[in-house]
Structure 1
Amino acid sequence: MSTHNYYPPSIELPHFVENESPVIPLILRFGVLWAAVIVGSYSLITRLRPTYKLSDRIAFVWMCLTGFIHLFFEAHFVIYHASLAGRQGLFDQLWKEYSLSDSRYLTSDAFLISMEAVTAFCWGPLAFLIAYCIAVQHPMRHALQIIVSLGQVYGDVLYYATSLLDVSYCRPEGYYFWFYYFFFNFIWVVVGCCKYGLPRCDIATNDVQTI
Protein backbone atom coordinates (compact mmCIF):
# COMPACT_ATOMS: atom_id res chain seq x y z
CA MET A 1 0.00 0.00 0.00
CA SER A 2 1.32 3.46 -0.93
CA THR A 3 2.21 5.83 1.89
CA HIS A 4 0.57 9.26 2.01
CA ASN A 5 0.37 12.44 4.10
CA TYR A 6 -3.40 12.64 4.40
CA TYR A 7 -5.47 12.52 7.57
CA PRO A 8 -6.46 10.32 9.16
CA PRO A 9 -3.29 8.28 8.45
CA SER A 10 -5.40 5.12 8.54
CA ILE A 11 -7.26 5.82 5.27
CA GLU A 12 -6.29 3.44 2.49
CA LEU A 13 -5.23 4.90 -0.85
CA PRO A 14 -3.67 1.93 -2.65
CA HIS A 15 -3.49 3.75 -6.00
CA PHE A 16 -2.01 6.99 -4.58
CA VAL A 17 0.89 8.61 -6.44
CA GLU A 18 2.73 11.72 -5.20
CA ASN A 19 2.26 14.88 -7.24
CA GLU A 20 4.88 15.47 -9.90
CA SER A 21 4.71 19.27 -9.60
CA PRO A 22 5.78 21.32 -6.55
CA VAL A 23 3.01 23.22 -4.77
CA ILE A 24 3.91 26.79 -5.81
CA PRO A 25 4.16 26.14 -9.59
CA LEU A 26 0.96 24.09 -9.36
CA ILE A 27 -0.99 26.93 -7.77
CA LEU A 28 0.56 29.47 -10.15
CA ARG A 29 -0.59 27.44 -13.17
CA PHE A 30 -4.11 27.42 -11.77
CA GLY A 31 -3.83 31.14 -11.11
CA VAL A 32 -2.91 31.72 -14.76
CA LEU A 33 -6.15 29.98 -15.78
CA TRP A 34 -8.12 32.18 -13.37
CA ALA A 35 -6.41 35.30 -14.73
CA ALA A 36 -7.12 34.27 -18.33
CA VAL A 37 -10.83 33.81 -17.58
CA ILE A 38 -11.02 37.10 -15.64
CA VAL A 39 -9.17 39.19 -18.23
CA GLY A 40 -10.92 37.52 -21.16
CA SER A 41 -14.43 37.89 -19.75
CA TYR A 42 -13.84 41.50 -18.64
CA SER A 43 -12.53 42.39 -22.10
CA LEU A 44 -15.53 40.68 -23.71
CA ILE A 45 -18.20 42.44 -21.64
CA THR A 46 -16.41 45.79 -22.02
CA ARG A 47 -16.39 45.39 -25.80
CA LEU A 48 -20.00 44.19 -25.96
CA ARG A 49 -21.41 46.69 -23.44
CA PRO A 50 -19.02 49.66 -23.07
CA THR A 51 -21.65 51.70 -21.19
CA TYR A 52 -22.26 49.06 -18.51
CA LYS A 53 -21.84 49.96 -14.86
CA LEU A 54 -18.78 48.49 -13.13
CA SER A 55 -21.05 46.33 -10.94
CA ASP A 56 -22.56 44.63 -14.01
CA ARG A 57 -19.14 44.03 -15.50
CA ILE A 58 -17.92 42.48 -12.25
CA ALA A 59 -21.04 40.31 -12.08
CA PHE A 60 -20.39 39.09 -15.63
CA VAL A 61 -16.75 38.30 -14.85
CA TRP A 62 -17.68 36.51 -11.63
CA MET A 63 -20.26 34.35 -13.39
CA CYS A 64 -17.74 33.38 -16.05
CA LEU A 65 -15.12 32.54 -13.43
CA THR A 66 -17.45 30.59 -11.14
CA GLY A 67 -18.93 28.79 -14.16
CA PHE A 68 -15.45 27.79 -15.28
CA ILE A 69 -14.50 26.47 -11.83
CA HIS A 70 -17.78 24.59 -11.36
CA LEU A 71 -18.14 23.13 -14.84
CA PHE A 72 -14.53 22.15 -15.44
CA PHE A 73 -12.57 21.92 -12.18
CA GLU A 74 -15.28 20.50 -9.94
CA ALA A 75 -16.76 18.35 -12.70
CA HIS A 76 -13.29 16.82 -13.08
CA PHE A 77 -13.53 15.57 -9.50
CA VAL A 78 -16.98 14.10 -10.08
CA ILE A 79 -15.87 12.23 -13.20
CA TYR A 80 -12.50 10.99 -11.95
CA HIS A 81 -13.01 10.73 -8.17
CA ALA A 82 -12.33 6.98 -8.09
CA SER A 83 -8.90 7.27 -9.75
CA LEU A 84 -7.99 10.84 -8.72
CA ALA A 85 -5.27 9.83 -6.24
CA GLY A 86 -3.24 8.11 -8.95
CA ARG A 87 -3.57 10.68 -11.75
CA GLN A 88 -1.10 13.45 -12.67
CA GLY A 89 -3.06 15.99 -14.73
CA LEU A 90 -3.18 19.62 -13.57
CA PHE A 91 -6.65 19.32 -12.04
CA ASP A 92 -5.77 15.92 -10.51
CA GLN A 93 -2.73 17.33 -8.77
CA LEU A 94 -4.67 20.38 -7.58
CA TRP A 95 -7.33 18.13 -6.07
CA LYS A 96 -4.67 16.02 -4.37
CA GLU A 97 -3.11 19.16 -2.93
CA TYR A 98 -6.49 20.48 -1.73
CA SER A 99 -7.28 17.06 -0.24
CA LEU A 100 -4.61 17.68 2.40
CA SER A 101 -7.34 19.83 3.97
CA ASP A 102 -10.12 17.30 3.33
CA SER A 103 -9.05 13.75 2.48
CA ARG A 104 -12.64 12.76 1.68
CA TYR A 105 -11.98 13.96 -1.86
CA LEU A 106 -9.68 10.99 -2.39
CA THR A 107 -11.96 8.39 -0.83
CA SER A 108 -15.02 8.78 -3.10
CA ASP A 109 -17.09 10.17 -0.24
CA ALA A 110 -20.78 9.89 -1.21
CA PHE A 111 -21.73 13.32 0.14
CA LEU A 112 -18.93 15.12 -1.71
CA ILE A 113 -19.66 13.35 -4.99
CA SER A 114 -23.33 14.32 -4.72
CA MET A 115 -22.64 17.91 -3.68
CA GLU A 116 -19.97 18.48 -6.31
CA ALA A 117 -22.17 16.90 -9.01
CA VAL A 118 -24.96 19.40 -8.28
CA THR A 119 -22.44 22.24 -8.16
CA ALA A 120 -20.72 21.24 -11.40
CA PHE A 121 -23.67 20.28 -13.57
CA CYS A 122 -26.34 22.65 -12.22
CA TRP A 123 -24.62 25.80 -10.93
CA GLY A 124 -21.86 25.68 -13.56
CA PRO A 125 -24.09 25.88 -16.66
CA LEU A 126 -26.46 28.29 -14.89
CA ALA A 127 -23.55 30.61 -14.14
CA PHE A 128 -22.72 30.79 -17.84
CA LEU A 129 -26.41 31.32 -18.63
CA ILE A 130 -26.47 34.23 -16.17
CA ALA A 131 -23.38 35.70 -17.84
CA TYR A 132 -25.22 35.49 -21.16
CA CYS A 133 -28.29 37.17 -19.63
CA ILE A 134 -26.11 39.96 -18.30
CA ALA A 135 -24.54 40.46 -21.73
CA VAL A 136 -27.91 40.65 -23.52
CA GLN A 137 -29.63 42.58 -20.70
CA HIS A 138 -32.19 39.86 -20.04
CA PRO A 139 -34.13 40.44 -16.77
CA MET A 140 -34.13 36.70 -16.00
CA ARG A 141 -30.54 37.28 -14.91
CA HIS A 142 -31.64 38.39 -11.44
CA ALA A 143 -33.88 35.42 -10.65
CA LEU A 144 -31.23 32.96 -11.85
CA GLN A 145 -28.59 34.83 -9.88
CA ILE A 146 -30.56 34.37 -6.67
CA ILE A 147 -31.03 30.65 -7.36
CA VAL A 148 -27.32 30.07 -7.98
CA SER A 149 -26.31 32.22 -5.00
CA LEU A 150 -28.60 30.34 -2.64
CA GLY A 151 -27.41 27.02 -4.02
CA GLN A 152 -23.76 27.93 -3.53
CA VAL A 153 -24.26 29.21 0.01
CA TYR A 154 -26.36 26.18 0.95
CA GLY A 155 -23.74 23.82 -0.46
CA ASP A 156 -20.96 25.53 1.48
CA VAL A 157 -22.94 25.42 4.73
CA LEU A 158 -23.49 21.68 4.31
CA TYR A 159 -19.85 21.17 3.37
CA TYR A 160 -18.57 23.03 6.43
CA ALA A 161 -21.03 21.24 8.72
CA THR A 162 -20.28 17.71 7.54
CA SER A 163 -16.52 18.20 7.61
CA LEU A 164 -16.37 19.93 10.99
CA LEU A 165 -18.14 16.96 12.55
CA ASP A 166 -14.88 15.08 12.00
CA VAL A 167 -11.81 17.36 11.78
CA SER A 168 -9.51 14.34 11.36
CA TYR A 169 -9.99 14.70 7.59
CA CYS A 170 -7.72 17.76 7.64
CA ARG A 171 -4.00 17.79 8.40
CA PRO A 172 -3.20 19.52 11.73
CA GLU A 173 -1.29 22.44 10.18
CA GLY A 174 -3.35 25.63 10.33
CA TYR A 175 -2.39 26.51 6.77
CA TYR A 176 -4.46 23.68 5.33
CA PHE A 177 -7.50 24.40 7.46
CA TRP A 178 -7.64 28.20 7.24
CA PHE A 179 -6.32 28.77 3.71
CA TYR A 180 -7.41 25.72 1.74
CA TYR A 181 -10.49 24.53 3.58
CA PHE A 182 -11.94 27.71 5.06
CA PHE A 183 -10.82 30.59 2.82
CA PHE A 184 -11.29 29.04 -0.62
CA ASN A 185 -14.82 27.92 0.20
CA PHE A 186 -15.78 31.05 2.12
CA ILE A 187 -15.31 33.14 -1.04
CA TRP A 188 -18.55 31.66 -2.42
CA VAL A 189 -20.39 32.35 0.85
CA VAL A 190 -19.37 36.03 0.83
CA VAL A 191 -20.03 36.61 -2.87
CA GLY A 192 -23.24 34.59 -2.78
CA CYS A 193 -24.60 36.78 0.02
CA CYS A 194 -23.32 40.04 -1.45
CA LYS A 195 -24.99 39.41 -4.81
CA TYR A 196 -28.36 40.30 -3.31
CA GLY A 197 -27.17 43.87 -2.79
CA LEU A 198 -25.24 44.41 -6.01
CA PRO A 199 -26.40 47.54 -7.84
CA ARG A 200 -27.75 46.89 -11.32
CA CYS A 201 -28.43 48.99 -14.37
CA ASP A 202 -32.13 49.11 -15.17
CA ILE A 203 -32.66 48.22 -18.82
CA ALA A 204 -35.35 50.80 -19.49
CA THR A 205 -34.20 53.80 -17.50
CA ASN A 206 -30.45 53.12 -17.11
CA ASP A 207 -30.86 54.12 -13.47
CA VAL A 208 -28.84 52.36 -10.79
CA GLN A 209 -31.07 50.23 -8.55
CA THR A 210 -30.57 47.59 -5.90
CA ILE A 211 -31.68 43.99 -6.34
Structure 2
Amino acid sequence: MRKNCIDAVASLGIDSIMEKPVLTQVSIISLAVTGLYAAGAFVFAFSVGKSQSRINKLIIAWLVFDALIHFTLEGPFVYWSLVSTVEKSKHFTAQVWKEYALADKRWGMSDPTIVSLEILTVFITGPLAVWLIYIVLKKKPYRHFIQIVLCVCELYGGWMTFCPEWLTGSKNLKTDNFLYMWIYLVFFNGIWVVIPVLLLCQSWLEMTVTGEVKQTKVIESVTTTSVTHNYNTRSRKKME
Protein backbone atom coordinates (compact mmCIF):
# COMPACT_ATOMS: atom_id res chain seq x y z
CA MET A 1 0.00 0.00 0.00
CA ARG A 2 2.75 2.43 1.01
CA LYS A 3 4.77 1.52 -2.08
CA ASN A 4 1.75 2.17 -4.28
CA CYS A 5 1.30 5.62 -2.73
CA ILE A 6 4.96 6.48 -3.28
CA ASP A 7 4.76 5.33 -6.88
CA ALA A 8 1.62 7.42 -7.38
CA VAL A 9 3.33 10.52 -6.00
CA ALA A 10 6.38 9.91 -8.18
CA SER A 11 4.20 9.52 -11.25
CA LEU A 12 2.71 12.96 -10.59
CA GLY A 13 6.20 14.43 -10.39
CA ILE A 14 5.53 15.78 -6.89
CA ASP A 15 8.65 14.20 -5.45
CA SER A 16 10.85 15.94 -8.05
CA ILE A 17 9.21 19.26 -7.23
CA MET A 18 9.81 18.77 -3.51
CA GLU A 19 13.48 18.04 -4.16
CA LYS A 20 14.00 21.42 -5.81
CA PRO A 21 14.86 24.02 -3.16
CA VAL A 22 12.96 27.28 -3.45
CA LEU A 23 15.37 29.35 -1.38
CA THR A 24 18.94 28.61 -0.35
CA GLN A 25 21.29 30.54 1.92
CA VAL A 26 23.03 32.08 -1.08
CA SER A 27 19.76 33.09 -2.74
CA ILE A 28 18.48 34.69 0.49
CA ILE A 29 21.70 36.66 0.96
CA SER A 30 21.72 37.70 -2.72
CA LEU A 31 18.12 38.92 -2.57
CA ALA A 32 18.82 40.72 0.72
CA VAL A 33 21.85 42.52 -0.72
CA THR A 34 19.80 43.54 -3.77
CA GLY A 35 17.14 44.91 -1.42
CA LEU A 36 19.79 46.89 0.48
CA TYR A 37 21.07 48.30 -2.81
CA ALA A 38 17.57 49.44 -3.71
CA ALA A 39 16.99 50.99 -0.27
CA GLY A 40 20.36 52.76 -0.36
CA ALA A 41 19.63 54.07 -3.84
CA PHE A 42 16.35 55.64 -2.68
CA VAL A 43 17.99 57.17 0.39
CA PHE A 44 20.71 58.70 -1.78
CA ALA A 45 18.23 60.01 -4.36
CA PHE A 46 15.87 61.63 -1.88
CA SER A 47 18.66 63.15 0.22
CA VAL A 48 21.09 64.40 -2.44
CA GLY A 49 18.37 65.31 -4.94
CA LYS A 50 16.16 67.33 -2.59
CA SER A 51 15.65 70.09 -5.13
CA GLN A 52 14.74 67.65 -7.90
CA SER A 53 11.24 66.74 -9.01
CA ARG A 54 9.76 63.47 -7.75
CA ILE A 55 10.24 61.80 -11.12
CA ASN A 56 13.89 62.85 -11.21
CA LYS A 57 14.41 61.48 -7.71
CA LEU A 58 13.04 58.14 -8.82
CA ILE A 59 15.27 58.21 -11.90
CA ILE A 60 18.34 58.99 -9.76
CA ALA A 61 17.43 56.10 -7.45
CA TRP A 62 17.26 53.76 -10.44
CA LEU A 63 20.58 55.02 -11.79
CA VAL A 64 22.32 54.50 -8.43
CA PHE A 65 20.90 50.96 -8.19
CA ASP A 66 21.88 50.32 -11.81
CA ALA A 67 25.46 51.48 -11.26
CA LEU A 68 25.83 49.46 -8.04
CA ILE A 69 24.72 46.27 -9.81
CA HIS A 70 27.01 46.88 -12.78
CA PHE A 71 30.11 47.64 -10.71
CA THR A 72 29.83 45.46 -7.60
CA LEU A 73 28.13 42.37 -9.04
CA GLU A 74 28.87 42.31 -12.76
CA GLY A 75 32.39 43.67 -12.31
CA PRO A 76 33.53 40.58 -10.34
CA PHE A 77 31.71 38.36 -12.85
CA VAL A 78 33.81 39.81 -15.67
CA TYR A 79 37.00 39.32 -13.68
CA TRP A 80 36.34 35.69 -12.74
CA SER A 81 35.16 34.90 -16.27
CA LEU A 82 38.36 36.29 -17.79
CA VAL A 83 40.83 34.65 -15.42
CA SER A 84 38.95 31.34 -15.20
CA THR A 85 35.21 30.65 -14.78
CA VAL A 86 32.62 31.44 -12.13
CA GLU A 87 32.15 27.71 -11.52
CA LYS A 88 35.82 27.23 -10.63
CA SER A 89 36.13 30.32 -8.43
CA LYS A 90 36.02 29.89 -4.65
CA HIS A 91 35.75 33.62 -3.93
CA PHE A 92 32.59 34.87 -2.22
CA THR A 93 31.89 37.34 -5.04
CA ALA A 94 31.41 34.41 -7.40
CA GLN A 95 28.76 32.76 -5.23
CA VAL A 96 25.93 35.00 -6.44
CA TRP A 97 26.73 34.05 -10.04
CA LYS A 98 26.94 30.37 -9.18
CA GLU A 99 23.44 30.78 -7.80
CA TYR A 100 22.24 32.64 -10.91
CA ALA A 101 23.92 30.00 -13.10
CA LEU A 102 21.38 27.53 -11.73
CA ALA A 103 18.83 29.45 -13.82
CA ASP A 104 21.12 30.20 -16.78
CA LYS A 105 24.15 27.89 -17.16
CA ARG A 106 26.02 30.33 -19.40
CA TRP A 107 26.90 32.54 -16.44
CA GLY A 108 28.96 29.80 -14.86
CA MET A 109 30.95 28.69 -17.88
CA SER A 110 32.31 31.99 -19.23
CA ASP A 111 30.11 32.05 -22.31
CA PRO A 112 31.83 34.39 -24.83
CA THR A 113 28.66 36.30 -25.73
CA ILE A 114 27.70 36.88 -22.09
CA VAL A 115 31.22 37.92 -21.07
CA SER A 116 31.50 40.28 -24.05
CA LEU A 117 28.22 41.96 -23.12
CA GLU A 118 29.19 42.22 -19.47
CA ILE A 119 32.50 43.89 -20.36
CA LEU A 120 30.53 46.59 -22.17
CA THR A 121 28.12 46.81 -19.25
CA VAL A 122 30.83 47.28 -16.64
CA PHE A 123 33.07 49.68 -18.58
CA ILE A 124 30.50 51.66 -20.58
CA THR A 125 26.98 51.32 -19.20
CA GLY A 126 28.04 51.62 -15.55
CA PRO A 127 30.01 54.84 -16.05
CA LEU A 128 27.16 56.23 -18.20
CA ALA A 129 24.76 55.67 -15.29
CA VAL A 130 27.07 57.55 -12.91
CA TRP A 131 27.53 60.36 -15.43
CA LEU A 132 23.78 60.63 -15.90
CA ILE A 133 23.29 61.02 -12.13
CA TYR A 134 25.62 64.02 -12.23
CA ILE A 135 23.86 65.39 -15.31
CA VAL A 136 20.41 65.14 -13.73
CA LEU A 137 21.60 66.76 -10.48
CA LYS A 138 23.32 69.60 -12.36
CA LYS A 139 20.43 69.98 -14.86
CA LYS A 140 22.70 69.82 -17.89
CA PRO A 141 21.01 70.52 -21.27
CA TYR A 142 22.31 67.31 -22.87
CA ARG A 143 20.69 65.11 -20.19
CA HIS A 144 18.23 63.31 -22.48
CA PHE A 145 20.82 62.48 -25.13
CA ILE A 146 22.88 60.60 -22.53
CA GLN A 147 19.73 59.07 -21.05
CA ILE A 148 18.74 57.69 -24.46
CA VAL A 149 22.24 56.28 -25.06
CA LEU A 150 22.19 54.56 -21.66
CA CYS A 151 18.73 53.07 -22.22
CA VAL A 152 19.66 51.76 -25.67
CA CYS A 153 22.77 50.12 -24.18
CA GLU A 154 20.67 48.44 -21.47
CA LEU A 155 18.08 47.17 -23.96
CA TYR A 156 20.75 45.96 -26.37
CA GLY A 157 22.42 44.02 -23.57
CA GLY A 158 19.16 42.34 -22.62
CA TRP A 159 18.31 41.45 -26.21
CA MET A 160 21.71 39.97 -26.98
CA THR A 161 21.68 38.04 -23.71
CA PHE A 162 18.48 36.16 -24.46
CA CYS A 163 17.80 36.29 -28.20
CA PRO A 164 20.67 33.91 -29.17
CA GLU A 165 19.52 31.54 -26.43
CA TRP A 166 15.89 31.61 -27.61
CA LEU A 167 16.97 30.94 -31.19
CA THR A 168 18.89 27.85 -30.09
CA GLY A 169 16.07 26.39 -28.00
CA SER A 170 16.87 27.87 -24.56
CA LYS A 171 18.90 24.79 -23.67
CA ASN A 172 20.81 26.66 -20.93
CA LEU A 173 17.76 28.09 -19.16
CA LYS A 174 16.05 26.32 -16.27
CA THR A 175 12.37 27.22 -16.29
CA ASP A 176 10.79 24.51 -14.11
CA ASN A 177 11.65 26.21 -10.83
CA PHE A 178 9.66 29.23 -9.63
CA LEU A 179 12.65 31.07 -8.16
CA TYR A 180 14.88 30.53 -11.19
CA MET A 181 12.19 31.28 -13.77
CA TRP A 182 10.14 34.15 -12.34
CA ILE A 183 12.60 35.86 -10.00
CA TYR A 184 16.03 35.34 -11.56
CA LEU A 185 15.17 35.22 -15.27
CA VAL A 186 11.94 37.19 -15.62
CA PHE A 187 11.95 39.77 -12.82
CA PHE A 188 15.63 40.66 -12.55
CA ASN A 189 16.05 40.83 -16.32
CA GLY A 190 12.63 42.37 -16.90
CA ILE A 191 13.31 45.50 -14.84
CA TRP A 192 16.24 46.26 -17.16
CA VAL A 193 13.75 46.27 -20.02
CA VAL A 194 10.73 48.00 -18.50
CA ILE A 195 12.58 50.89 -16.84
CA PRO A 196 14.80 51.77 -19.85
CA VAL A 197 11.69 51.75 -22.08
CA LEU A 198 9.92 54.12 -19.65
CA LEU A 199 12.97 56.40 -19.58
CA LEU A 200 13.08 56.44 -23.38
CA CYS A 201 9.43 57.50 -23.41
CA GLN A 202 10.18 60.20 -20.85
CA SER A 203 13.08 61.53 -22.93
CA TRP A 204 10.91 61.55 -26.05
CA LEU A 205 8.15 63.50 -24.31
CA GLU A 206 10.58 65.95 -22.70
CA MET A 207 12.37 66.66 -25.97
CA THR A 208 9.09 66.96 -27.87
CA VAL A 209 7.54 69.36 -25.36
CA THR A 210 10.76 71.37 -25.04
CA GLY A 211 11.04 71.61 -28.82
CA GLU A 212 7.46 72.79 -29.16
CA VAL A 213 7.93 75.37 -26.40
CA LYS A 214 11.11 76.71 -28.01
CA GLN A 215 9.39 76.86 -31.39
CA THR A 216 6.48 78.76 -29.87
CA LYS A 217 8.83 81.20 -28.17
CA VAL A 218 10.69 81.80 -31.44
CA ILE A 219 7.42 82.47 -33.27
CA GLU A 220 6.25 84.81 -30.50
CA SER A 221 9.60 86.60 -30.52
CA VAL A 222 9.55 87.03 -34.30
CA THR A 223 5.93 88.21 -34.21
CA THR A 224 6.62 90.67 -31.39
CA THR A 225 9.68 92.03 -33.18
CA SER A 226 7.74 92.43 -36.42
CA VAL A 227 4.84 94.22 -34.71
CA THR A 228 7.22 96.49 -32.84
CA HIS A 229 9.10 97.28 -36.03
CA ASN A 230 5.88 98.10 -37.91
CA TYR A 231 4.66 100.27 -35.06
CA ASN A 232 7.93 102.19 -34.90
CA THR A 233 7.91 102.64 -38.69
CA ARG A 234 4.36 104.06 -38.66
CA SER A 235 5.23 106.32 -35.72
CA ARG A 236 8.23 107.77 -37.56
CA LYS A 237 6.16 108.39 -40.67
CA LYS A 238 3.53 110.25 -38.68
CA MET A 239 6.19 112.42 -37.04
CA GLU A 240 7.63 113.26 -40.44
TM-score normalised to the size of structure 2? 0.68
8 A Cα contact 1:27 1:94, kept in partner: no
Deviations 1:46-98 (A, max 9, x none): 2xx2xx21111111111111111112211111111224223241x32211111
8 A Cα contact 1:42 1:57, kept in partner: yes
What is the Cα deviation at residue 128 of structure 1?
0.4
Aligned to 1:152: 154
- The 3-state SS of whatever aligns with 2:110 is coil
- The 3-state SS of whatever aligns with 1:67 is helix
8 A Cα contact 2:174 2:181, kept in partner: yes
* CA distance in structure 1 between the partners assigned to 2:46 and 2:90 by the alignment: 33
2:45 is matched by which residue type in structure 1?
S
Aligned to 1:112: 114
**Alpha carbons of structure 1 residues 155 and 42: separation in structure 2 relative to 1, 3 Å:** same
2:57 is matched by which residue type in structure 1?
R
Deviations 1:24-67 (A, max 9, x none): 23321332233223322332112xx2xx2111111111111111
1:126 lines up with 2:110 in the alignment: no
TM-score normalised to the size of structure 1? 0.76
Q: Aligned pairs, how many?
A: 179
1:60 lines up with 2:60 in the alignment: yes
* CA distance in structure 1 between the partners assigned to 2:44 and 2:98 by the alignment: 28
Aligned to 1:25: 29
Aligned-pair Cα RMSD in Å = 2.3
**Alpha carbons of structure 1 residues 29 and 66: separation in structure 2 relative to 1, 3 Å:** closer
- Alignment equivalent of 1:140, drawn from 135, 139, 142: 142
Aligned to 2:18: none
From the two aligned structures, give the one with the greater helix fraction: 2
* CA distance in structure 2 between the partners assigned to 1:61 and 1:22 by the alignment: 25
Higher relative contact order (CA 8 A, sep 6+): 1
* CA distance in structure 1 between the partners assigned to 2:53 and 2:42 by the alignment: 17
8 A Cα contact 1:72 1:120, kept in partner: no
Deviations 1:131-180 (A, max 9, x none): 00001111121100000101111111111212222322122424212321
What is the Cα deviation at residue 22 of structure 1?
4.1
Q: Which has the larger radius of gyration?
A: 2
- The 3-state SS of whatever aligns with 1:167 is coil
Unaligned runs of 5+ in 2: 1-23, 214-240
**Alpha carbons of structure 1 residues 26 and 59: separation in structure 2 relative to 1, 3 Å:** closer
**Range 80-89 or range 176-185, more displaced:** 80-89
